[in-house]
């Protein structure tokens, strides 16, 4: 072992630059892990603190078991709501150990700041999510900061107690007001007290907290009867806050009650602080961050792996003769392998230590100067350090395998011969076929097989990504040869280098080129995959050409439909139709939303009543649909003759219905009068989801399964509408504008109701109109997706920069190995500049290989990832279209080629500066 | 009292080594038998392609043989596993190469110590070797700071530090100028004569072979003949004797 250690140390001392560069790259990868994982450690710390305070003055809370609905990996689930049965409360109150059992109800109710008439609207800002809790408790669950507790039995008193931090965010205080509910049915509530609810830091923690049924969830407490009034729902029990008498024993109470709770009609469970902490740690938010942490670790480890692999491989290739001598005179095969392992561990140790320190320093600086970069907070905990170690040491150990095997295969006899050369690289048919077979696996899994909800998607994704990566790795030597053969001559001509000098440069050192290119591919391939996945998923959300140009909402009471028809004669308007919009529940849960909720699996639809003939007539339709099943004319006839409707094509798939089938709707105002609608046709409706979101078309609840069209009069009759809620129109932008349309609409409504009408959001009680153009919606969608994709892209971009160090390492080694050749060329009259261009060209070629591999891997992985997301993501279910965002992709590829060229600058420069004789002498002394 | 004779440092019995190139087979060694006595200095002399280097490789266990056996201090090399053979070679066989083959990142002292680092008395051994070879002053220099002769001395030191049963030298003067080469040969001669080292040296040069106790003429994979240079340590004489041996063989073939 002493021999091995001494040799390893001597070798790294001999190549200090390579040691520094490789260690730096490993350190950067480890620091990246610290950066990402610190958010998870911060979350756990927050949960730890929060869970100790979340129960307030109660010892326990009782909530239904598995409150969260089916957790879709990588998404925040929309909870399928469960409630504690009312009779459980009676049982608890009958127990002599119970001091108090306060039921609490947490329905989804919108909270908005109140703007007094005449007051200026507050500046637009991001407000925290405030959950409204209905309660019958006689005392506040948390310490009152100021004011008093609410009267929980008098529904005439519209009062609430608010969390002190939420009140500060909303700019209100005791005596101030807040609005509950959605326009136009909002209720003004007075704040009579402020409480100290436990807060959490960071977005993920806030999301997790909002799904944990404890008193700590409350941002606003109002009386249960008042909440029933506001929400127009009968009260339910989301959880019960239980306080015990001082003499009661908590453990035996739990022991006695646990079996009884699990046998309730909705099985329920106790939550103490440690249970809350455990549940939070296992929450979707935590799981998401944990997944991000693990992903960052794996990706960083891969980057470290390939950089260290490249370095170790170069070390073996350069030292074949040395290794042969060592085999001849001193070392066994195992000791030779240990030598490589020790070198790898040395690189890992330096990388880990430097990475942890620099990661901590960077994070500390960010917290001080740019805390918005760390939106989940940052704490360097055990998990961060552990994953950084996995990244550094895991990568190094895996990287050492192949070089160790190569080193072990060196025969002592090779010490006698001349310097061994790498065999000439050739295209291998076997590698191509095996690679192709592996690459085919993921598309089959993602797009050909049809999966059920319980399929092992994580395994499928892991298998798919692994086989795709393995396939491209097998293809990579062939790619190097092809790039060398076809691109080297062109590049040589471009850079005015004799083509024969450049040809075979990268394929002559195949192992080095392949490992360097793969290192670059990790970052760029991931980046392209993210963008292809994101844009392909987006295709279902971006409103398509079917959508009319603008939607005008008339609030709060709509507009007389006959008056609304006058909009067709506005200047510049090509076509305009009044519509009515309702959001009824589906009587049967056709899409199985209770089992797994997604954007297309919900228990309600948005139903639009419109003049079918004008809307869908093929000569000049308002909606330019692509008819998937059924025909426009037939659909119009069916809509006009009764309860028929047009649905988006994915609704048929999710509900397992077909054209001609019927489904039942529950009118919100008269739930006993269920109505049945027959599906007349199915159309492609990309982007209906976002069409309905900012336009106020989701009148009852914030999620919906589909946008469905039916005849105006039928909807009017079935759902008791008097007025049209909106006008949908197409217009000529050369002749009019959204501002002008808003003005026309304002005049129209004002004239119809005889009152002043505002444009845009207004103080309570004043009617207003709101114009939303389709381009605005598309901009919102694009802006959201750009933001989200940017957040996801940060990791691969950083990895890409880190792996550029690998390119630098490879080129330095390449230049070192060819010093004698370069000396000969200089002696024969080739200029410095030509040699510099030669080295830069090699960098460009490596970048080109990486770009092509990344393009293939990225498109495939992204497209297949989108395919699997249909089954597991909350946002899956919409129709998918492969979209390759070429500007982003080409920018990435160009950036990689540029980075590789820049990496070549230093070795090229150092080569250019060296005199020919020095090159000859240095080259010959290499052993 | 029966005293057992210690086995010879090196004994080869009917070695055959065949190289295959496509459909062609080449008998590099064709039934070679040879015994080296303790303290003997043997030179194997032959032209390029005669198989002498292959013979040396077989002696060191660096190459497998098709037939025959190699015994070093009575141990049959064929019975060892790869790891056992490596450890045996480290302890019992010292090797000197034409190209020196020092590790460039280690100092002269470190290179010498390489096979012996696990020994407790490595430092004492190193001192002795450095003094004996006259390179004590250069111990901390790396190979690229040493002359050719100094590098070869370091290589010899590395070969000797474990006090091996046999020292095998493959064209040890091939990369040296004539004067330095003669100095190395003189050193090997002294090691053999004064310290009783058993040495086998492969060379094609008469002025190198003349330093040996016995010269074996090697051609086409067989030992043609052998002669002793003692009293005739003269390059021309050796060259003549070598030519005689070759001609005698050629006549036999013709006859």
Over range A17-45, report the average pLDDT.
83
**Is B57 in contact with A416 (Cβ distance < 8 A)?**
yes
Find residue A585's DSSP bridge partners.
A604, A666
Total H helices, total E strands in chain A: 30, 23
Average pLDDT over residues A303-310: 85
The whole-number pLDDT of residue B217 equals: 93
**pLDDT of A869 over the 70 cut:** yes
The single-letter DSSP state of residue B50 is S
- CA torsion through residues A886, A887, A893, A894, sign: positive
pLDDT category at A121 given cuts 50, 70, 90 is low
DSSP per-residue string spanning A549-586: SEEEEEETT-B-HHHHGGGGGSTTEEEEEEEEEE-PEE
* Separation in Å, CA of A422 to nearest CA in chain B: 20
Helix (H) or strand (E) holding A163: strand A159-163
For residues B197 and B194, what is the distance between their CA atoms, to the nearest angstrom? Answer: 8
A557 contacts: CB under 8 Å, gap ≥ 6: A184, A723, A753, A767
Planar angle of CA A527, A530, A532, nearest 5 degrees: 105
- Rg of chain A over CA atoms, in angstroms? 34
Contact across the interface for A13 and B105, Cβ inside 8 Å: yes
Confidence at residue A826, expressed as pLDDT on a 0 to 100 scale = 78
Residue labelled with tokens 């474990």? B162
Average pLDDT over residues A245-259: 84
Find chain B residues with C-beta within 8 A of A14's C-beta: 104-105
SS3 at position A604: strand
Residue B67 in tokens? 């037939």
- Report CA-CA distances (Å) from B230 to A600, B198, B210, B233: 102, 17, 8, 6
Sorted by sequence, the CB contacts under 8 Å of residue A260 that are 6+ apart come out as: A91
Taking residue A95's Cβ as centre, other Cβ atoms within 10 Å add up to: 17
Q: Are A105 and A236 in contact (CB under 8 A)?
A: yes
**What residues have CB less than 8 Å from A39, skipping those under 6 apart?**
A202, A204, A289, A292, A293, A374, A375, A376, A377, A378
CA distance B169 to B153: 12
pLDDT at A864: 93
SS3 A605: coil
More confident residue, A387 or A677: A677
Give pLDDT tens digits for B45-75.
998 888 888 999 899 988 889 999 999 999 9
Per cent of chain A over pLDDT 90 is 33
* Residue pairs spanning A and B at CB distance below 8 A: 67
User: Helix, strand, or coil here: B45?
Assistant: strand
Contact across the interface for B82 and A332, Cβ inside 8 Å: yes
Q: Which of residues 135-154 of B touch A (CB under 8 A)?
A: 144
Mean pLDDT for A774-782 is: 90
Minimum distance, in Å, between the CA of residue A431 and any CA atom of chain B: 26
Question: Coil, strand or helix: which one is A100?
Answer: strand
Q: How far is the C-alpha of A840 from the C-alpha of A497, rounded, in Å?
A: 11
- Contact at CB, B86 and A14, closer than 8 angstroms: no
Q: What is the pLDDT of residue B41?
A: 95
B57, B117, B170: residue with CB nearest A3: B117
Is there a contact between A333 and B53 if contact means CB atoms under 8 Å apart?
A: no
- B223 in Cβ contact with B29 (< 8 Å): no
Phi, psi torsion values for B248, nearest 5 degrees: -60, -40
Residue A52 pLDDT exceeds 70: yes
Distance of CA A753 to the CA centre of its chain: 46
A124: helix, strand or coil = coil
Query: Rounded to 5 degrees, what are φ and ψ at A118?
Result: 90, -15
pLDDT at A420: 47
Chain B residues whose beta carbon lies within 8 Å of the beta carbon of residue A927: 104
Answer yes or no: are the C-beta atoms of A709 and A622 closer than 8 Å: no
Asked whether the predicted pLDDT for residue A79 surpasses 50, the reply is no
Residue A214 tokens, joined: 């404890």
* Chain A CB contacts of B106 below 8 Å: 6-7, 10
- Residue whose token pair is 């005015």: A496
Rounded Cα distance, A239 and A883, in Å: 45
What are the chain B neighbours of A329 within 8 Å (beta carbons)?
89-90, 95, 114-115, 158-159
> Tokens representing A841?
């060209």
CB within 8 Å: B103 and A329: no
For residue A68, name the pLDDT band (cuts at 50, 70, 90).
very low
Nearest to B86 among A321, A322, A332 (CB): A332
Out of A3, A10, A412, the one facing B105 most closely (by C-beta) is: A10
Contact, A522 vs A797, CB < 8 A? no
Q: Which of B83, B104, B144 sits opposite A333 (nearest CB)?
A: B83
Contact A518, A847 (CB under 8 A): no
Please give, rounded to a whole number of angstroms, the shortest distance from the CA of A494 to a CA of chain B. Answer: 40
**DSSP 8-state secondary structure symbol assigned to residue A601:** B
Q: Which of residues 26-55 of B touch A (CB under 8 A)?
A: 53
User: Rounded to whole angstroms, how far apart are CA atoms A323 and A329?
Assistant: 10
Tens of pLDDT, residues A806-864: 888 888 887 877 787 787 777 777 788 888 888 899 999 999 999 999 999 999 999 99
Helical (H) or strand (E) element with A34: helix A16-51
Distances (CA, A) of A757 to A557, A565, A754, A866: 12, 19, 9, 45
Distance CA A840, CA A845 (A): 9
- Give pLDDT tens digits for A635-693: 999 999 989 999 999 999 889 999 999 999 988 878 888 999 999 999 999 999 888 88
Residue the block writes with tokens 């710390």: A45
Q: How far apart are CA A845 and CA A483, in angstroms?
A: 7
Q: Which two tokens stand for residue A920?
A: 């000859």
**Cα gap A612→A633, rounded to integer Å:** 10
Give kind and range of the element (H or E) at residue B225.
strand B222-227
Tokens of A226: 């008042």
User: Do B115 and A330 lie within an 8 Å CB cutoff?
Assistant: yes
Q: Average pLDDT over chain A, rounded to whole?
A: 85
Q: Is a pLDDT exceeding 50 seen at residue A76?
A: no
Q: Say if the Cβ atoms of A332 and B83 lie within 8 Å.
A: yes
pLDDT: which is higher, A25 or A191: A191
pLDDT at A273: 76
Q: Which of A891-919 are b and which e, b meaning 16 or more Cβ less than 10 Å from the residue's Cβ?
A: ebbebbbebbbebbeebbeebbebebeeb
Q: Is the dihedral of CA A485, A487, A493, A495 positive or negative?
A: negative
Say how far apart CA B103 and CA A927 lie, in whole Å. 8
* Mean pLDDT, range A592-606, rounded to an integer: 82
Q: Which residues of chain B have pLDDT under 70?
A: 1-3, 230, 232, 252-255
Range among A168-182, A463-477, A594-608, A867-881 with highest mean pLDDT value: A463-477
Residue for token digits 């008469």?
B206
Mean pLDDT of A90-105: 91
Give me the residues of A, 74-103, that contact B with CB < 8 A: none
Residue A724 has what DSSP assignment?
B
Would you give the distance in Å from CA A247 to the centre of its chain? Answer: 50
Q: Binning pLDDT at 50, 70 and 90, where does residue A73 land?
A: very low
Mean local confidence (pLDDT), A219-235: 87
- Evaluate the omega torsion of the peptide bond into residue A505 and state whether it is cis, within 30 degrees of 0: no
pLDDT surpasses 50 at A75: no
Q: Does B63 sit within 8 Å of A7, measured CB to CB? A: no
Facing A328 at nearest CB: one of B87, B95, B117 = B95
Please tell me the predicted confidence (pLDDT) of residue A762.
60
For residue B239, the distance in angstroms to the closest alpha carbon of chain A comes to 26
Is residue A290 within 8 Å of A43, Cβ to Cβ? Answer: no
Q: What does the pLDDT average to over A716-733?
A: 91
Per-residue confidence (pLDDT) for residue B232, from 0 to 100 = 60
State the Cα–Cα distance between residues A908 and A371, nearest whole angstrom: 40
If pLDDT is split at 50, 70 and 90, which confidence band does A108 have? confident
With beta carbons under 8 A apart, name residues in chain B contacting A413. Answer: 57, 62-63
* Enclosing H/E stretch for A727: strand A726-731
């Amino acid at each position: 072992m002493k021999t091995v250690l001494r040799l390893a140390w001597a070798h790294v001392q001999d190549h200090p630059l390579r040691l520094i560069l490789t260690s730096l790259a490993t350190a950067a990868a480890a620091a990246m892990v610290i950066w990402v994982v610190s958010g998870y450690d911060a979350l756990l710390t927050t949960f730890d603190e929060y869970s100790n305070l979340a129960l307030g003055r109660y010892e326990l809370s009782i909530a239904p078991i598995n409150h969260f609905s089916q957790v879709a990996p990588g998404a925040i689930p929309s909870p399928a709501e469960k409630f504690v049965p009312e009779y459980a409360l009676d049982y608890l109150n009958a127990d002599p150990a119970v001091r108090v059992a306060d039921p609490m109800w947490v329905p989804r109710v919108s909270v908005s700041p109140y703007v007094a008439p005449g007051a200026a609207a507050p500046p637009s800002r991001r407000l925290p999510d405030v959950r409204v809790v209905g309660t019958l408790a006689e005392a506040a669950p948390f310490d009152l900061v100021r004011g008093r507790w609410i009267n929980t039995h008098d529904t005439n008193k519209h009062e609430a107690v608010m969390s002190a931090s939420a009140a500060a965010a909303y700019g209100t205080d005791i005596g101030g007001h807040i609005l509950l509910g959605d326009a136009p049915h909002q209720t003004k509530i007075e704040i009579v007290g402020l409480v100290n609810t436990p807060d959490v830091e960071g977005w993920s923690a806030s999301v997790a907290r909002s799904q944990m049924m404890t008193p700590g969830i409350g941002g606003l407490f109002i009386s249960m009867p008042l909440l029933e009034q506001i929400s127009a729902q009968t009260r339910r029990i989301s959880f019960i806050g239980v306080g015990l008498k001082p003499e009661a024993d908590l453990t035996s109470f739990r022991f006695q009650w646990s079996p009884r709770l699990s046998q309730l009609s909705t099985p329920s469970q106790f939550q103490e602080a440690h249970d809350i902490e455990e549940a939070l740690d296992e929450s979707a938010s935590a799981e998401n961050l944990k997944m991000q942490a693990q992903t960052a670790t794996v990706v960083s480890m891969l980057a470290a792996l390939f950089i260290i692999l490249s370095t170790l491989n170069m070390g073996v290739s350069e030292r074949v003769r040395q290794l042969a001598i060592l085999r001849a005179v001193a070392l066994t095969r195992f000791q030779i392998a240990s030598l490589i392992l020790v070198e790898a561990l040395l690189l890992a140790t330096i990388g880990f230590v430097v990475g942890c320190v620099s990661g901590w320093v960077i994070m500390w600086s960010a917290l001080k100067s740019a805390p918005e970069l760390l939106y989940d907070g940052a704490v360097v905990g055990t998990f961060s350090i552990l994953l950084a170690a996995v990244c550094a040491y895991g990568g190094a150990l895996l990287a050492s395998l192949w070089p160790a095997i190569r080193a072990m295969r060196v025969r002592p006899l090779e010490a006698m011969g001349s310097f061994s050369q790498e065999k000439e690289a050739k295209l291998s048919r076997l590698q191509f076929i095996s690679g192709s077979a592996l690459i085919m696996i993921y598309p089959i899994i993602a797009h050909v097989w049809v999966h059920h909800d319980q399929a092992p998607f994580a395994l499928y994704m892991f298998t798919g990504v692994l086989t795709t990566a393995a396939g491209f790795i097998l293809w990579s030597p062939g790619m190097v040869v092809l790039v060398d053969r076809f691109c080297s001559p062109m590049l040589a001509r471009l850079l005015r280098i004799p083509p024969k000098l450049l040809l075979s440069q990268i394929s002559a050192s195949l192992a080095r080129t392949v490992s360097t290119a793969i290192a670059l591919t990790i970052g760029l391939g991931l980046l392209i995959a993210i963008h292809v996945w994101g844009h392909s998923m987006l295709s279902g959300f971006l409103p398509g050409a079917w959508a009319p140009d603008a939607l005008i909402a008339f609030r709060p009471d709509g507009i007389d439909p006959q008056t609304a028809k006058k909009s067709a004669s506005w200047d510049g308007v090509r076509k305009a139709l009044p519509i009515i919009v309702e959001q009824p529940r589906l009587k049967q849960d056709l899409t199985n939303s209770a089992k797994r909720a997604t954007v297309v699996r919900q228990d309600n639809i948005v139903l639009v009543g419109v003049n079918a003939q004008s809307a869908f007539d093929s000569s000049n339709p308002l909606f330019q649909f692509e008819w998937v099943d059924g025909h426009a004319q037939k659909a119009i006839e069916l809509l006009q003759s009764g309860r028929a409707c047009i649905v988006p094509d994915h609704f048929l798939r999710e509900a397992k219905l077909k054209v001609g089938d019927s489904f039942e709707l529950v009118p919100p105002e008269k739930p006993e009068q269920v109505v049945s609608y027959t599906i007349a046709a199915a159309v492609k409706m990309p982007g209906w989801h976002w069409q309905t979101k900012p336009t106020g078309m989701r009148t009852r609840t914030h999620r919906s399964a589909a946008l469905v069209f039916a005849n105006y009069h039928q909807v009017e009759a079935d759902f008791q509408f008097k007025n049209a809620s909106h006008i949908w129109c197409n217009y000529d932008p050369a002749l009019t504008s959204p501002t002008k349309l808003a003005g026309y609409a304002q005049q129209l409504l004002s004239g119809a109701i005889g009152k002043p009408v505002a444009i845009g959001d207004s103080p309570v009680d004043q009617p207003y109109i709101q114009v939303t153009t389709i381009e605005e919606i598309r901009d919102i969608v694009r802006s959201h997706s750009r933001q989200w994709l940017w957040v996801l892209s940060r990791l691969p971009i950083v990895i890409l920069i880190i792996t550029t160090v690998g390119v630098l390492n490879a080129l330095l080694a390449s230049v070192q190995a060819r010093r004698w050749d370069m000396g000969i060329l200089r002696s024969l009259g080739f200029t410095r500049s030509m040699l510099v261009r030669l080295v830069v060209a090699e960098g460009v070629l490596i970048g080109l290989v990486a770009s092509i591999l990344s393009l293939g891997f990225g498109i495939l992985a992204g497209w297949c990832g989108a395919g699997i997301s249909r089954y597991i993501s909350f946002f899956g279910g919409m129709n998918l279209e492969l979209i390759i965002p070429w500007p982003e992709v080409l920018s990435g590829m160009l950036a990689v080629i540029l980075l590789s060229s820049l990496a070549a600058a230093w070795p090229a420069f150092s080569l250019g500066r060296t005199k020919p004789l020095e090159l000859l002498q240095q080259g010959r002394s290499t052993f | 009292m029966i005293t057992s004779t210690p086995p010879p440092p090196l004994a080869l019995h009917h070695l055959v080594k065949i190289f295959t190139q496509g459909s062609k087979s080449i008998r590099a060694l064709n039934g070679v038998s040879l015994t080296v006595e303790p303290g003997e200095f043997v030179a194997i002399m032959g032209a390029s392609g005669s198989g002498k280097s292959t013979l040396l490789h077989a002696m060191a266990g660096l190459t497998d043989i098709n037939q025959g056996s190699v015994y070093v201090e009575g141990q049959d090399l064929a019975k060892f596993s790869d790891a056992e053979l490596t450890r045996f070679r480290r302890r019992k066989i010292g090797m000197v190469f034409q190209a020196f083959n020092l590790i460039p990142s280690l100092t002269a002292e470190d290179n010498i110590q390489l096979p012996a680092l696990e020994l407790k008395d490595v430092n004492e051994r190193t001192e002795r070797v450095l003094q004996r070879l006259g390179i004590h002053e250069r111990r901390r220099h790396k190979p690229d700071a040493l002359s050719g002769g100094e590098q070869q001395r370091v290589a010899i030191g590395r070969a000797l530090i474990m006090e091996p049963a046999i020292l095998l030298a493959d064209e040890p003067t091939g990369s040296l100028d004539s004067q330095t080469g003669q100095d190395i040969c003189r050193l090997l001669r002294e090691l053999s004569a004064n310290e009783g080292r058993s040495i086998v040296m492969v060379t094609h040069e008469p002025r190198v072979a003349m330093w040996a106790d016995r010269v074996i003429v090697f051609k086409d994979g067989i030992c043609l003949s052998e002669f002793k240079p003692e009293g005739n340590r003269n390059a021309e004489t050796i060259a003549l004797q070598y030519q005689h041996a070759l001609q005698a063989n050629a006549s036999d073939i013709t006859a």
